[in-house]
A and B are shown apart, each in its own frame.
Chain A
Amino acid sequence: MAHHRQSLNLQQQQQQLLLLLAFVFVLGFLTSSCHALYEDQVGVWDWHQQYIGRVKHAVFQTQGSGRKRVVVATEQNALASLNLRTGEIYWRHVLGESDPIDVLELASGKYVMTLSGGTNVRAWHLPDGVLIWEAAIPSSKGSNPPRLVALPVDIDYDKINDLLVLSGSVLTALSGQDGTTIWKVDISGKDVDIRDVIVATEELKAYGVGFIGDSGFTVIEIDLQAGTITDRKTAMTSETLSVTELLVSKQFAVALDSKGTHLVTVSINANGLTVLETALSSLSLNAVGLPKLLPTKLDGAISLALGDLTAIVAVDPTSGELRTVETLVGAVAVSDSLSVANSKHSVAIIQLLEGGHSQNTFSLHVHGEDWTEVVQKETVKLPSHRGHVQKVFLNAYLRTDRTHGFRALVVGEDDSLLLLQQGEIVWTREDELASIVDAKSAELPLERDGVSVAEVEHDLAEWLKGHFLKLKATLFLASADEIAAVQESRLNQADKTKLTRDHNGFRKLLLVLTKSGKLLALHTGDGRIVWSLLIPGFRAPHGGPQVCPEKLLLWQVPHQHAEERPEVLVLGKSCSTSDFPAVLSWVDAYKGIELHTMKLSYPVTHAFGLPLTDSSEQRLHLFVDDQAQAHLLPGSEESLDLFLKQKDNAYFYEVDRTKGIIEGYGIKGLVESSRQTSSEGYLFETEKLWSVVFPEETESIATVATRRPDEVVHTQAKVLGNREVLFKYLNKNMIFVATVTPKSVGLLGAASPEDSTVVAYLIDTVTGRILHRVTHPSMQGPVHAVLSENWVVYHYFNLRNHRYEMSVLETYDQSRVGDKGVMQLMLGRHNASAPLSSYSSSNVEVKGQSYFFTYTVKTLTVTTTARGITSKQLLLGTVTDQVLALDKRLLDPRRSATPTPSEREEGILPLTDAIPISPQGYLTNGYQVEGLRGILTIPARLESTCLVFAYGLDLFYTRTAPSRTYDSLTEDFSYALLLMTIVALLIAIAVTYVLAERKELAEKWK
């Protein structure tokens, strides 16, 4: 009997063991972690958006049976072909920074011709954007905008129409076939300044039109086939002319006189030139300030701006007589003339409706051949954050009733691109996002009470079904449709795009400030725009000085008072002059509403947040003006009290890159009179405490790197493999400065290796102490640097080895080196908690090392995590516009050729000559963030994870876990499988229990 029991017990034990093992297996199977990204994970937590920037030229291709498209060139030097129906990009090319597109033309119906900088003519294939040929025209003197004319004729008999390019004073004819030069003629002469070229097709003649000095016009006739000057005509004027602008049309040219009171017209006809001067007053145009000719190309008319007024003046081609046809007030955009069927011309005029300010309603008028007739009249309401219409491009189409209809491509004040047709917005492109100036992140609101998870997940059954499908997919049982459904559900997870805070801190708002003065909030889940605001305080009054947004400051970040809204402060400065008073605007980060705005009475050279917040968690900010005086905001009594307590320990520094000086300042007393005007901030006198002067002839500042103010450092001690402790020198006021030899600032090869040096400095900004100075001979900039914790990594070019190099400097505090050993650290017998003061004598040891690196770097930053425990990755924006993550361990100055076992244990890698690049290190995967300019890293609440937002012309967002996601299960962890396994186990236990009972009973009956 005893034996029976024993064997039964054993049996039960065995069964339990088996179940346990099975459970362990299943769990192990479920949590098989992945280290790289799989194909089906693309788009699960990353997104990529493509933009083109503010459009400056547009040509339509709507004839023929092909797809309707519009080709645009932008201020961000992008050339793109867009689908006219949806606004999607067919193809896009981004040219270099020094390669702006001046002229965009369509030729022969299938080529896109671009002229860049007056020197580069390129022909692109319209359907797919392939570069067909490229021709370089030797640059010639002259600062006038270059011209490109696509000839409607073939002059070199290759059956492809050719081109004319006017660059400076040289007129070049290029073959449309391959871009070879057919002929070249210099049409300059004494005092001759040719501005434009027109073509008379029938006569096979080209005419160069320009000024003679400032008191005459000249027209040069060129034979198109021979490329020879056949005639020169001149006409002198009695008035001196303003030579800034000359409007040239087929039969006349118009300029203003130097006083701005007369319009001077010259008619070009077979007999010669006829000059006619017309007073503006006779056209009933009363100028307020100097009138300006607008470069809009109108047929038989010109347009000019007179202060707030835009006038369209018709020109009689034979006599040159002028007649005002339209005067428009306020924000007006006039399109170029468009020739429609029967050689009729149409012009679109977009004007803000009277009283349409609040509604942002515009009238779109399309005028016919003579200006009295309005062919089409529409009213369009644009969203208020689009602002006024800046540019309009007109396109005609055939309506179903065989009449001509018109649509308009318009550029908004916020740089967005919209297509208007039949009074509606057909599509919108958010191209303001191509020019982000500054980006910050903000938390989303907390989830409201009563919103349970089930409600969010719609339905428990649906949730289970989803997980069941996932399970099937994991076990390779699912059909293709089901796999697609699983992928679909992964990409569109409902909780990914919710507008509330999540537990892991992955859902956030990305606040981006664009060049056009627009603030947008993007959701990190899918990159959609949550709200956008064209900051009213920054909008230029018509013709007034423009305010350029410069910086985004986190004004209020509520932690304790979760019901409070975060606020951001946008700092704007004048776009042109530096002594223009700054503009501040406070914006609610949840709603996207401007709370208030303030025009300061002083210019701001630099603004920063202090590590102090008042009781409503508003951060104290200092604004330094051009007199090096500090203004404290917010201007409340409370903030003043707070600041006065800390005043003696407040320092700031200023970097003057042109003079090569860094100066440090301390805060002195409050200027009592500023108490009255405290809304503009309390004024504090400052005193200059130190200066560092770089020798002008040998060093110029290349880069200054500072630590992130919100950086969290987990521990000061670094425990080595041999149980000894190194103390990081964590000076919050330390900056890194790199200087280069002024001669070598330019292009590579500008200086020989002997007289090109990069010098790296570590400077304490409280005392001005140079903590470390190290020279790298034979190196050249540009230098990119990132400073974090106790280390700095910088990137530069090695002229001797013709390779890029990265160096690391790590600072260690030797004055604490006495407390050696982990035991002492653990037992508390150490001075690691003693505060670090810039005024105490320091003993800093700097360790450095250099490594070769393959790529050019556009930007350099580092990952940040919530508590700073996770190891760091360097994020590099490579020249291929990708984001590369490099483990910081690769750039450890303590790497040695043969690490000792204890160093190996510590994770020190053997020393290599160069930094290896692994293809899996690219965070952008297969994407390119075209025109990459900056990378923003945001810590998630989950310690292992860091959110990465890269911006340039394109936007890209992803998240990275430098030490893998050690604190959470992977995305594809199947809860359903776990649940089902548990249920199955329970059932198995119950069944085996019953079976065991029965068997026992049967045994007993024997």
Chain B
Amino acid sequence: MKTRVVLLFFVLGLTSRYVSSFKSDELPEDDEEWGFVGRETGSAFGGGRGERVAQGSSSNEGDKRRSGSTTAAPTSPAVDASGDKKIQFDLEHSFGDSEFTPAGGFSARLRASTHGRQTLSKLRLTRNPFSEFQENAFKELVQEDGFYKVRIPANVIDPGKTYVMASIKARCLAAASLKERFDLNLDQGNVIGITYSSGADCTYPRPQVFPSDWTFNSWIVSKSSEQAMRVTPMFEDTPLENLVTGEDGLPTKVVEKNFWQKYWMYIIPFGLILVNAITSIANMPEEPAGGQGAAPAGAVPQRIAGAGGARRR
């Protein structure tokens, strides 16, 4: 039964693009609580740029996964109502060597479970648009094939001085027209690592292209830990007494040998002696008869058969 659950899990995993039991970042369309999503606000940077908001790809993979995965958090509204907390933390970025500056804000829902564990869900990212200066810095990075770095606090509930950091070649981001993807490895309220990747493959050597549109297209995946599974074996069809430890320490099944396998080493020499004897008997009467007798006529095909049999071996 357990095996079947695992299999189901793998099958579902294979159908989706990302094989891992992660909690979806998908924003259900009917979620009222997250009102700021999609809201156009005035920007501190001026220039009439709107604050752009992460657009998750709108597939329902997440829901599917959630149903397949046993580790995904339940999403019943009753739990939602009980003591969930909305938290926010900064995403900071740096262009090559520059200092880290705020690049946007993550918001998430913190859910405390009965065991004192906390889980983060519904991660959303609000990206600040690039300023003129930042655009130029980014272009410079693309030119020199430098790294665009991002970081978030390691402890998002109570941000301290330790940050989890990741980086990407600016060219990779530019080539994917600023389609970015964050994979956050979460453990309760802690971020252990971020994987920051672009939407496209980006192997060396990388082409130098500049983004035409400075809108980030973000995709956030949060991954929580997977528990090790253990398949307990059942010996159904192999009785234990038939499993014998072999020479190399591996259990080997005892297979009953058939008659030929057991005694071939005796049969062959015996057969050879027999053939030899028959031959000499066959040769003997030739001399007095001087011609064909009844016995040699019968012996010839027999000899051939015997020799052939031995050769086949």
Give residues in A with beta carbon < 8 Å to B.
3, 7, 10-11, 13-14, 17-18, 21, 35-36, 648-649, 661, 666, 687-695, 698-699, 759-760, 763, 767-770, 772-777, 807, 814, 835, 837, 839-841, 843-845, 848-850, 886-887, 889-890, 896-898, 909-913, 916-918, 920-921
Q: What residues of A have a CB within 8 angstroms of the CB of B13 in the complex?
A: 845
| A760 CA / B225 CA spacing, docked (Å) | 10
Query: Contacting chain A: which of B14-22, B83-91, B255-263?
Result: B14-22
B1 at the interface (CB under 8 A from A): no
| Partner of A648 from B145, B163, B250 at Cβ < 8 Å | B145
* CB atoms of B162 and A693 under 8 A apart: yes
* CB atoms of B233 and A649 under 8 A apart: no
* CB atoms of A918 and B236 under 8 A apart: no
Q: Among residues 222 to 246 in chain B, which have CB atoms less than 8 Å away from a CB atom of chain A?
A: 223, 225-238, 245-246
* CB atoms of B204 and A841 under 8 A apart: no
* CB atoms of A910 and B163 under 8 A apart: no
With contacts A698-B187, A897-B235 known, is A841 near B250, CB below 8 A? no
* CB atoms of B233 and A845 under 8 A apart: no
Give residues in B with beta carbon < 8 Å to A.
3, 13-14, 17-20, 96-97, 145, 147, 149, 151, 154-155, 162-169, 172, 183, 185, 187-188, 190-197, 200-204, 223, 225-238, 245-251, 268, 272, 275-276, 279, 283, 286, 292, 303, 307, 310-311
Q: What residues of A have a CB within 8 angstroms of the CB of B249 in the complex?
A: 886-887, 890, 916-918, 920-921
| A770 CA / B310 CA spacing, docked (Å) | 63
| A909 CA / B249 CA spacing, docked (Å) | 12
With contacts A14-B307, A687-B97, A690-B165 known, is A913 near B272, CB below 8 A? no
CB distance from B173 to the nearest CB of A (A): 11
Q: What residues of A have a CB within 8 angstroms of the CB of B18 in the complex?
A: 843
* CB atoms of B276 and A911 under 8 A apart: no
Task: Give 18 A-B pairs besides A689-B165, A775-B227, A839-B172 with Cβ atoms closer than 8 angstroms.
Answer: A661-B162, A688-B165, A689-B166, A689-B167, A690-B193, A695-B187, A759-B225, A768-B165, A774-B226, A775-B225, A837-B204, A840-B202, A841-B200, A843-B18, A849-B230, A887-B249, A910-B238, A916-B250
Closest to A851 in B: B230
CB distance from A475 to the nearest CB of B (A): 18
CB distance from A839 to the nearest CB of B (A): 5
| A13 CA / B300 CA spacing, docked (Å) | 13
CB distance from B122 to the nearest CB of A (A): 21
* CB atoms of B310 and A17 under 8 A apart: yes
CB distance from B282 to the nearest CB of A (A): 8
CB distance from B19 to the nearest CB of A (A): 5
Q: What residues of A have a CB within 8 angstroms of the CB of B97 in the complex?
A: 687
| A641 CA / B109 CA spacing, docked (Å) | 52
Q: What residues of A have a CB within 8 angstroms of the CB of B251 in the complex?
A: 909-910, 912, 916
Q: What residues of B have a CB within 8 angstroms of the CB of A841 in the complex?
A: 197, 200-201
Closest to A847 in B: B10
Q: What residues of B have a CB within 8 angstroms of the CB of A835 in the complex?
A: 203
| A768 CA / B147 CA spacing, docked (Å) | 14
Closest to B145 in A: A648
* CB atoms of B165 and A843 under 8 A apart: no
* CB atoms of B232 and A913 under 8 A apart: yes
CB distance from B284 to the nearest CB of A (A): 11
* CB atoms of B245 and A837 under 8 A apart: no
* CB atoms of B227 and A777 under 8 A apart: yes
| A835 CA / B166 CA spacing, docked (Å) | 23
| Partner of B185 from A21, A666, A773, A845 at Cβ < 8 Å | A773
| Partner of B228 from A10, A689, A774, A814 at Cβ < 8 Å | A774
* CB atoms of A14 and B279 under 8 A apart: yes
* CB atoms of B307 and A692 under 8 A apart: no
* CB atoms of B149 and A689 under 8 A apart: yes
Closest to A909 in B: B250
Q: What residues of A have a CB within 8 angstroms of the CB of B168 in the complex?
A: 767, 839
Closest to A13 in B: B307
| A666 CA / B146 CA spacing, docked (Å) | 10
| A730 CA / B268 CA spacing, docked (Å) | 51
With contacts A687-B147, A775-B226, A897-B231 known, is A920 near B247, CB below 8 A? yes
| A695 CA / B155 CA spacing, docked (Å) | 8
Dominant SS among interface residues on chain B:
mixed
* CB atoms of A843 and B250 under 8 A apart: no
Q: What residues of A have a CB within 8 angstroms of the CB of B226 in the complex?
A: 772-775
Q: What residues of B have a CB within 8 angstroms of the CB of A890 in the complex?
A: 249-250
Question: What are the nearest 9 A-B pairs in CB distance?
Answer: A918-B249, A911-B233, A837-B203, A695-B190, A693-B154, A769-B195, A692-B193, A840-B201, A689-B167
Q: What residues of B have a CB within 8 angstroms of the CB of A913 in the complex?
A: 232-233
Closest to A28 in B: B265
With contacts A7-B283, A777-B227 known, is A920 near B248, CB below 8 A? yes
Closest to A807 in B: B228
Q: What residues of A have a CB within 8 angstroms of the CB of B163 in the complex?
A: 691, 693
| A850 CA / B230 CA spacing, docked (Å) | 6
CB distance from B183 to the nearest CB of A (A): 7
| A125 CA / B188 CA spacing, docked (Å) | 59
Closest to A1003 in B: B287
Q: What residues of A have a CB within 8 angstroms of the CB of B228 in the complex?
A: 760, 774-776, 807, 848, 850
| A690 CA / B223 CA spacing, docked (Å) | 18
| A839 CA / B165 CA spacing, docked (Å) | 16
* CB atoms of B233 and A912 under 8 A apart: yes
| Partner of B19 from A768, A769, A844 at Cβ < 8 Å | A844
Q: What residues of B have a CB within 8 angstroms of the CB of A759 in the complex?
A: 225
Q: What residues of B have a CB within 8 angstroms of the CB of A760 in the complex?
A: 228
* CB atoms of B279 and A814 under 8 A apart: no
| A35 CA / B247 CA spacing, docked (Å) | 8
* CB atoms of B190 and A897 under 8 A apart: no
Residue of B185, B229, B250 most packed against chain A (CB within 10 A): B250
Closest to B290 in A: A1006
* CB atoms of A693 and B191 under 8 A apart: yes
CB distance from A662 to the nearest CB of B (A): 9
Q: What residues of B have a CB within 8 angstroms of the CB of A773 in the complex?
A: 185, 192, 223, 225-226
* CB atoms of B154 and A695 under 8 A apart: yes
Residue of B20, B200, B247, B272 most packed against chain A (CB within 10 A): B20
CB distance from A498 to the nearest CB of B (A): 32
Q: What residues of B have a CB within 8 angstroms of the CB of A912 in the complex?
A: 233, 251
| A887 CA / B191 CA spacing, docked (Å) | 38
Q: What residues of B have a CB within 8 angstroms of the CB of A767 in the complex?
A: 166, 168, 195-197
CB distance from B252 to the nearest CB of A (A): 9
Q: What residues of A have a CB within 8 angstroms of the CB of B187 in the complex?
A: 695, 698-699
| A839 CA / B198 CA spacing, docked (Å) | 9
| Partner of B195 from A14, A698, A770, A921 at Cβ < 8 Å | A770
24 contacts between A and B (CB under 8 A): A14-B307, A690-B193, A690-B194, A691-B151, A691-B163, A693-B192, A695-B155, A695-B188, A695-B190, A760-B228, A767-B197, A768-B193, A774-B227, A775-B227, A839-B172, A839-B197, A848-B229, A890-B249, A897-B3, A898-B237, A912-B233, A912-B251, A913-B232, A918-B245
| Partner of A770 from B154, B193, B230, B235 at Cβ < 8 Å | B193
Q: What residues of A have a CB within 8 angstroms of the CB of B185 in the complex?
A: 770, 773
| A770 CA / B22 CA spacing, docked (Å) | 13
| Partner of B203 from A839, A898, A921 at Cβ < 8 Å | A839
CB distance from B259 to the nearest CB of A (A): 21
Q: What residues of A have a CB within 8 angstroms of the CB of B246 in the complex?
A: 918
Closest to B206 in A: A839
Q: What residues of A have a CB within 8 angstroms of the CB of B164 in the complex?
A: 691-693
* CB atoms of B279 and A11 under 8 A apart: yes
Q: What residues of A have a CB within 8 angstroms of the CB of B167 in the complex?
A: 689-690
Q: What residues of A have a CB within 8 angstroms of the CB of B151 in the complex?
A: 691
Q: What residues of B have a CB within 8 angstroms of the CB of A687 in the complex?
A: 96-97, 147
Q: What residues of A have a CB within 8 angstroms of the CB of B204 in the complex?
A: 648-649, 837, 839
CB distance from A820 to the nearest CB of B (A): 13
| A414 CA / B17 CA spacing, docked (Å) | 60
| A658 CA / B131 CA spacing, docked (Å) | 39
| A843 CA / B19 CA spacing, docked (Å) | 7
* CB atoms of B225 and A910 under 8 A apart: no
